[in-house]
Structure 1
Amino acid sequence: MTAEFETFTRTATGFTPYPYQSALAADGLPTLLEAPTGAGKTVAAVLPWLYRRLIAAPGATPRRLVFVLPRHSLAGQAFGRIGTWLERLGLTGEVGLHLLAGAAAQEGGWRRRPERSAILVGTHDMVLSRALMRGYADARTMAPVSYALLHTDAQWVFDEAHLLGPGLSTGRQLQLLRDELGTAAATGTMWMSSVRGPGGLGGRTVHAPDTTGTVRRIGRLDLPPGRYVAALVEAVTAAHVPGTRTVVVIDSPARARAVHAGLAARGREALLLHPHFRAADLDRVLAAAEGGNDLVLVATPAVEAGLDLSSRTLVTELAPWASLVQRAGRCNRHGEHPDGGDLLWCTPPEGGDAATARWLTAHEGRAVTPGELLAARVDTPPALAGPPAPAGPGREDVLALFDSPAEDTVGGTGKDASKDTVGVDHWICDPSQTGSLPALVAWRAWDAAGPGESGPGGDGPGEDEPDPGGAELCPVPLDELRRLPAGRAWLRDTLDRRWRPARPGDLRPGVRLLLDTRTGGYLPDRGWSPESPVPVACEAAAPGRPAYGCTAWVGLDQHLQETAQEAQSLLAALPALPTDLREAVVEAARFHDLGKCHDAFQAKLRAGRTDPPGGLLAKSRNGADADLLPPYRSPRPHLRHEFVSALLLWQGGHDPLVTYLAAAHHGHVRLTVRPRGDEAPLLLGVADGDRTPSVRLSTGEHFPARTLHTAAFPAAWTAQAVSLRDAPGLGPFRLAFLETLVRVADWRASARHDGPLAPVSAPVPAPAG
């Protein structure tokens, strides 16, 4: 196996693997990997898993690798390196690769192929929030799918465990709960660290040797607090060695911008690197940083993990020990400077970690190796360590998080955030740092008019303004957004789908916002720049007609049978489930859209059309004229057809699991059923006493015409759904996975009838009269 893995790794990377990496390929990933900086942890995290998944032990190796970096990391470089490895191995068509960081985290294509081997690369805020059913930048209705796939058939790898803050305890606790509550397929966790690993993890530990032997000399910069930025600029200018790269790591984004501006004012070629760029601009900055041989790179702690970048001289503000070690790993990282690099540190005006300062002071003038930094014992006295980190979510917390929050508590109207009784921010980062979690911001142009007006000629985006896409989004710290004047940021309301000014309660991690291009706030070479008044170039494409959609009228019975077929195919491609669960998934797939028989839904499918066929329909044909039809205003704007499905199955006495899975297939009807907006006395568009027609399926099942009763449903439904969630043979992780199988089967059945849409030829004439 060693020779085969060596060939595998050389093909991917061009280098022979270290012996410890080959051992991981032979024995599997441990619980803890301690490895000095520069010792190849990314290779160790990915290639042994990939080799075992595809070649050595596919049946015993989870099909998804979840590679998690600290939240402030620039995960894109690790993502790009892994993509190169897959390409060299000829595996791009066999192994999915997906990025869950920054603006890319809102993309969800990875959820559509649960049977496929895949690698997810993300930051711990984006990934752990999804594992807690409250995914930042994740659609509320898609949260159960993200949750299910992260807790099923997955190998988690956390890089630099000591930089995760409360995320360390959260990740550990989630693994314990998976072991306790059970999953549909085995899921495990490996932690990696460049300092002495965290205790209490149990399991197997692997210690990687220091194979680099690179050195960096430690020196101190004494800077006066009263003119700290100016003095730091002078010190960096003096320390820079011509013809080499200098990296300056500054903890405050605002201070990093000021130091960069000071260097530029002195005529020094300098780049600014932090996570708060649009994707294309960040790629350009990284390419310039990697290719530059005589420059100064001013960076935030984004360089600490996941970035293969080296320097001759590294200047860093005093930081906690784990951060300091990671920063040191960006100095003479590959031994390219035989005489060693210089690691210069300074204390920022707000002070810094005393234990780290003592160690650095004791080693001033000495050259140290990554192995010495890994072995060093640097302990902060308990009195100085601050409050203990949260222990991570307990069983009851995870069970409470299983339900979907109301629309107006997740980046929606912000009217009643208390409805979502369990928040997750404190399990992801230190409470003092939650303001550094990002929202996603795009800049758009619209005309200004009178106060309070919006739409064409108004002071805000019009109703037809499209949602921002990934290419134009910039992650921005919430604290800096909160300093903007009221009315500057706009978001789409989740209930009425109109754009409106964002309120303070809307500013949550991952929320998507629009700013006016004229107000500035962004520069391509500097990223988020709140002090800049320069108008921002708009990156958004003009809204256009969808190029792809449903090209045929699809009958209800046909769609139900096709969804059941897709469920059977999906189950056959995944690890075996117990027979009763497999049968429940297929039956739920066959019944999931029964509620589309409701008169209001059938009217919606036929609205304005001249050619609909008879019988009950499931899908409308999206012809060339579909987007030119007069807008349809449903008398039941909040109607959820899956709620009608739940009522039909519930009142018909069907199996509770089948009923739940059918109800949950869009993510709206799960543990609780709530009215939307001010629709009461309707409930999700259904009136107590509504009648549904008789439905007979080609497989023989018959659902007679029925009167729907909603008054007593919510309380009884919640009690039954909670009993399923807590059932010993199910539990939250298995139940969410079964939900996901029905949803994916539905997506695939719908996709059978999707195709390119014909171009629009002529406007549709208005009806006579």
Structure 2
Amino acid sequence: MSDLAVTDFPAFYREIHGYEPFPWQIALLDRVIQEGWPELIDVPTGLGKTSVIDVAVFAAALGRAEARAGVPRRIFFVVDRRLIVDEAYRHAEKIAEALRTPGDDSRAARVAAALRVDGDTAGRPVEVTRMRGGVNWSWRWIERPDRHAIVVGTVDQVGSRFFFRGYGVGKHLRPIDAALAGTDSLIVVDEAHLSEAFLASVRGAATCDETPAPIRPTVVSMSASPESGTADVHRITNADEKHPEASRRLKAAKELHLVDVPTTKANTAKTMSGALAHWAWELQREHPVVGVVVNTVARARAVFELLRADSASRCVLLTGKIRPTDRDYLLAEHYERIRAGRDRTSAEPMFVVATQTIEVGANIDLDALVTESSSLPALIQRLGRLNRLGDQRTTAPAVVLHGSADSDGVYDTARPATWAWLCERITPLPHTPKVRLPAEPGMDASPSALRALVRALPPGQWATLREPRPYIPSLGRAHLDVWARTSPIPLNDIPIPPYLHGLNRGTPQVTVLWRDLPDDDTLWPDLLGLMPPTSAESIELPLRAVQRWLNGETGGDDISDLEAEHLPDIPVPPGGRTVLRYRSRDNSEVITADRIHPSDTIVVPASHGGCDRYGWHPGSREPTIDIADLAQSAVRRGATIRVGPTLARAVETYAPSLAPEVAAWVERLNTDYRDDPSPGQIRSLRSALGDPAPGRDELPHLAVLRRLTDSSRARLIEHLDTGTLLLSSGTAAFREDSTAAGSSISTAKLSLAVHQREVAEKAEEFARNLGMEPDVVRAIGLAALWHDEGKRDPRFQVMLCGGDRWAAAANDEPLAKSGMNPGDRAAFRQARRRASYPAEMRHEALSTQIATVLLVEVPDVDHDLVLHLIASHHGRSRPLLPPVIDPDPTTKIERDGVQIEVDTAQSVDWTSPARFERLNRRYGRWGLARLEAVVRLADIWCSARSEERA
């Protein structure tokens, strides 16, 4: 691909977006190619900072075309916000789609060819994913470690994964995520002044680990802070200021006015909400789309209720505390009316009430803005949503309200300091019921004017106007050693939040979702096992706020949308309402509110209320709509829905015009189920769904129902214990690598020799594509070739045959996969008992013992590495496998006619910790996890493909 050059970037960018890149973007690519990535990118809001992703993708393609080492394969775009509109994700999807279907002889075609790796026939040169909290059944967010990817996530989601403690990630999957985040990666942090602890911790970890330098993460900050602390900065230049489009955005007309609201501690909440609503009504006299941005979810809800109760205008509430599926419906209804670049000729009146969630990642363009006072960086971001492209015909007003006794604690001392600084430049108006904007112009709040003001600040003053810098605890090798131990996790584990947000910053989070659950809570684990939680139906919320709500206390929504907010640690009384703590299909328990732990995923009965279509609403007693069926649209491989009243009720709420057809279809399938309905009956709903609109994202109910009714593999499954009827489009939704049985459940039997050979070939392919040394490739191949040898245990083979010893004896060769129904977990447990296979026995322990014998004949390979990769290929043995008491130990295994001495009573290998320590020093903690990920993802890849073939 020598015909791909730096000078092709403008044409590549134009092919994807339809317009030319700004000069700073072109200059950034030149800099990356010549000197590497800068530490800081300082670009004003509104000038396309998200296009750093385009630069990174093109730079990676150039690096691959020129066979340069150390080219990042995964681009992480990190924002310290819970986003309502994730423009970075949309932007990345646009790039990925252009690379999936490039025009002939286009620059996109050349970039796609350069990025595509040997053996990857999926047609996706670049994978795009969005990290959210919660358990997502599509946990394979990247299928191949050698595939290029763009990942959008928050500090908590990316940071916790980086440090081997991924929030909402099964503990045995954490090493894979750590490897993917901590090697071959470019980590770009937007609004970096909010993420200083995360940046310092990641950079510090990279420097005190032995992971080879070429595969260590590259970390880049994006911020407009004048106190960058580094000379390695990439900024806009005169070329940008003279560029027609960039200049228009930099000089976009915005006038700022201040309003002082007299309040007392007793009346602050009511008075401020009323004042914010008053100014929204006032500005809408001349400006159709008015935004109201506030500091807490509680105040946003209060202002929203006032505006929609007393106005005929359309009104929407946007906070980050919303289920992603609900968000998709909200944006489908409202986003075209508020997005930048919309047609302004027929703008209808509309109020947009929001929290900090629209400060970053939202390409929203308001005609007028009302906002609470805040820190200066937050205010600059809010102003960035006003007259965003500079195309308003009149000046866009912004009114900043400050309550004299209002102290929400969100911005600490920066809020009053910023207010005082603003008051030095413009006299505030006193708030009265009849106050109007003055005739004289307000303060110039265009991006260029604000940039000049910030640059002119005296030394040190910026620190008083921004959020206080966090105290960042020091990080050393001992911390990394503790975090690298993921199985078992040390009892003295070191908490992650201080290293992501600083001490006394951030607050423990939990992931919450709502399901229709019966009164009998003994059925809850089985119901969640049938259709596990997904992130698309979940909200990340502060632990204490959730516990207070479950205990019936008020104030559970007095929280912000800042990732690093700090809430007081209020004692939780014992008891509280009952919820389900979900960890995996085989690991969930019914608990009371006081037993919820940080980073838990909890399932709340929908009858409790607490959430509506706008998000977290602890004051609501109305039953929450269970949207788990609609959220299946976000599951990548396969989909499963419950064919019953819950589905019908969700469709009636979100798509009332389709509700009668869906209700009739649900009733028909339930009635005809025992008569073995034909595929035609399953597909009978298809015509009512219509055809997908080209070029537009489908609403969740259409996406999931179309996928199921189009699938030739869709089948109905009845779960007798709960009386639930499921419709599944495939078996992949039932697989779970993190459970004891998950790796052995498949719809078709598969021989051990075939499976291990396929995994070895795929693992070696991954390793070669990643540029690993030949001796490492060989070690990986051997580990993959022997990883399931422990399944030769005769009892394991009987278990794979449903507990039938005669069927196991009739097999010509040992099996790797069972051929049992993946949805019938009870049948698999019964098969294990009939085979007398110990419940917690890990076949990896026996595989390692067998490999130890086989390695005697293989001198020129890293024996430690081969044994560790086998022992850890399901995420255990980091550094120990779990202890198991085997009442009838296996002492010999037959392999190709040869008896090998083993002992299942020795499931714990006490040499493993020392071996783990040596390998961490030899390859680095993240480097070793990377080698594990190659074997594990190859195993997962081959298992999934064998299911699809079946």
Query: TM class, shorter-chain normalised?
Result: 0.7 to 0.9
State the 1:742 CA deviation: 0.9
- The one-letter code of the counterpart of 2:331 is L
> What does 1:147-296 correspond to in 2, within 5 Å?
147-164=178-195, 166-177=197-208, 181-182=211-212, 185=215, 187-196=217-226, 198-200=228-230, 203=232, 205-207=234-236, 209=240, 211=246, 212=249, 213-225=251-263, 226=267, 227-267=271-311, 268-287=313-332, 288-292=334-338, 293=347, 294-296=349-351
1:719 CA displacement: 2.1
1:15 — aligned with what?
A: 19
Evaluate the alpha carbon distance shift between residue 384 and residue 14 of structure 1 in structure 2; reply closer, same or farther with a 3 A threshold: closer
Q: Percent identical across equivalent pairs?
A: 25
Equivalent of 2:498 in 413, 426, 429: 426
Structure 1's 421 and 319: CA in aligned 2 closer, same or farther, altered over 3 A? same
Q: Distance in 2 between matches of 1:445 and 1:383?
A: 47
Tell whether the 8 Å contact from 2:498 to 2:504 is kept in structure 1 after alignment: no
Q: Verify: 1:646 aligned to 2:848, yes or no.
A: yes
2:136 is the counterpart of 1:48: no
Cα distance in 2 between the residues matched to 1:649 and 1:331: 64
Alignment match, 2:680:
none
How far off its partner does 1:274 sit?
Answer: 0.9
Which of 401, 407, 432 is the matching residue for 1:350?
A: 407
User: 1: CA distance between counterparts of 2:533 and 2:185?
Assistant: 31
Aligned counterpart in structure 2 of residue 307 of structure 1, from 362, 370, 380 = 362
Give the aligned partner of residue 522 of structure 1. Answer: 611
Aligned length: 719
How far apart are residue 203 of structure 1 and its match? 4.1
Q: Distance in 1 between matches of 2:606 and 2:289?
A: 35
> 1-side partners of 2:74 and 2:760: how far apart?
25
2:750 to 554, 560, 568: 554
Partner of 1:490: 580
Question: Please, which of 794, 815, 821 is the counterpart of residue 617 of structure 1?
Answer: 815
Whole-Å Cα distance in 2 between the matches of residues 656 and 692 of structure 1? 23
**Equivalence for 2:447:** 370
Contact kept, 8 Å, 2:802 with 2:828, in 1: the verdict is no
2:678 corresponds to 1:606: no
How far did 1:519 drift? Answer: 1.4
* Partner secondary structure for residue 226 of structure 2: coil
How far off is 1:30 after superposition? 2.2
Following superposition, the deviation at residue 372 of structure 1 comes to: 3.5
Equivalent residue, structure 2, for 1:469: 534
Q: Deviations over 1:269-327 (max 9, x none)?
A: 32110112222321232340441542121111111111111212222222222222211
| Structure 2 contact 144–766 (Cα < 8 Å) conserved | no
SS in 1 for 2:784: helix
1:754 and 2:947 equivalent?
yes
The yes-or-no answer on 1:71 pairing with 2:71 is no
Answer yes or no: is the 8 Å Cα contact 1:35–1:193 preserved in 2.
yes
CA separation of 1:465 and 1:369: change in aligned 2, threshold 3 A: same
Contact kept? 1:405, 1:419, Cα under 8 Å: no
SS across alignment from 2:522: coil
The 8 Å contact of residues 142 and 149 in structure 2, kept in 1 or not, is answered as no
Please name the residue that 1:447 is paired with.
518
Distance of aligned partners of 1:242 and 1:670 in 2 relative to their CA distance in 1, 3 Å threshold:
same
Is 1:732 equivalent to 2:803 in the alignment?
Answer: no
Compared CA separation, residues 463 and 748, structure 1 to 2 (3 A): closer
Deviations 1:82-104 (A, max 9, x none): 21233345367321111113559
Listed one character per residue, the Cα deviations across residues 35-81 of structure 1 (whole Å, up to 9, x for unaligned) are: 011111001x1111122223476434322211111233346332123
Q: Give, in whole Å, the separation in 2 of the partners of 1:695 and 1:339.
A: 82
- For the 8 Å contact 1:75–1:123, the answer to whether it is kept is no
- Unpaired segments ≥5 residues, structure 2: 103-122, 339-346, 427-441, 552-575, 629-640, 643-725, 733-745, 857-862
Q: Retained in 1: the 8 A contact 2:580–2:591?
A: yes
Taking only aligned residues, the RMSD between alpha carbons, in angstroms, comes to 3.2
How many Å apart are 1:733 and its aligned residue? 1.4
The DSSP-based 3-state class of the residue aligned with 1:314 is strand
Is the CA contact (8 Å cut-off) linking 1:305 and 1:326 kept in structure 2? yes
How far apart are 1:662 and its partner, in Å? 0.6
Q: TM-score, normalised by structure 2?
A: 0.70
CA contact (8 A) 2:135 2:533 kept: no
Pairing 1:118-137 to 2, within 5 Å after superposition? 118-137=149-168
Instruction: Provide Cα deviations, 1:256-281, integer angstroms capped at 9, x if missing partner.
Output: 11111122222253211011222232
Equivalent residue, structure 2, for 1:764: none
Q: Deviations over 1:354-383 (max 9, x none)?
A: 332233223333213213433403726679
**Which amino acid in 2 is paired with 1:528?**
W
Please tell me the residue identity of whatever aligns with 2:45.
T
Q: 1:567 aligns with which of 763, 771, 786?
A: 763
Cα pair 1:692 1:708 within 8 Å, conserved? no
Change (3 A) 1:192 1:687: farther
Secondary structure of the residue aligned to 1:66 is strand
**DSSP 3-state at the match of 2:172:** helix
* Corresponding residue SS for 2:602: strand
Give TM-score, length-normalised by structure 1: 0.86
Q: Partner residue of 2:619?
A: 531
Residue identity opposite 2:948 in structure 1: G
Q: Find the partner of 1:142 among 173, 182, 186.
A: 173
**Secondary structure, aligned partner of 1:419:** coil
Structure 2 residue corresponding to 1:322, chosen from 374, 377, 380: 377
